[in-house]
Structure 1
Amino acid sequence: MAPRHSLPSASTGAVAAVLVGGVVLTALLTAVAVTAVSVAVAAVVLRSLLANQRHR
C-alpha cells in the first residue's frame, strides 16, 4: 500500500513542477513581449522626433 500512496504524491509533485514551470515561462515570455513593444514604441517616438528635427 505504501508505493500506491507515494505514486500519487510524486505525480502531483510533477504536475505542480510542470505548472510552476509553465507559469514561470509564461511570465518570462510576457516580460519579453512587453520589452519588445516598449522598444518598438521608443523607436517610433525617436524616429518621429528625428523627422521633426530634420524638417525644421
Structure 2
Amino acid sequence: MASHAPAPTTARTVTPFATRAAGVVVAVLVVGVVLTALLATVAITAVAVSIAALVLRSLLNSGTRR
C-alpha cells in the first residue's frame, strides 16, 4: 500500500489584513480629530478677533464723542 503524504496547505492568515485595516481606521480617526481641533481653534480665534474689533470700535467711537 502506498502512503500518500497530505497535500501542502497554504495557510492564509487574516491577521495582517486585519492589522492593516485597524491601522487605517486609527489613522482616519486621528486625522479627523486633528482637523476638528483645528477647525475649533479657527472658530474660537474668529470669535475672539470679532470681540476685540467690537471693543476697539466702541473705544474709538466713545473717544470721538467726548
Q: TM-score, normalised by structure 2?
A: 0.80
Q: Percent identity?
A: 53
Q: Secondary structure of the equivalent of 1:28?
A: helix
Count of aligned pairs: 55
- TM-superposed CA distance for 1:5, in Å, is 1.1
Residue 43 of structure 1 pairs with residue 46 of structure 2: no
Segments ≥4 residues shifted beyond 6 Å? none
Query: Where does the alignment leave 5 or more consecutive residues of structure 1 unmatched?
Result: none
Residue 33 of structure 1 pairs with residue 46 of structure 2: no
Query: Where does the alignment leave 5 or more consecutive residues of structure 2 unmatched?
Result: 1-11
Q: Which residue of 2 aligns with 1:16?
A: 26
> Which protein has the larger Cα radius of gyration, Structure 1 or Structure 2?
2
Q: TM-score, normalised by structure 1?
A: 0.93
- The root-mean-square deviation of aligned C-alpha atoms, in Å, is 0.7
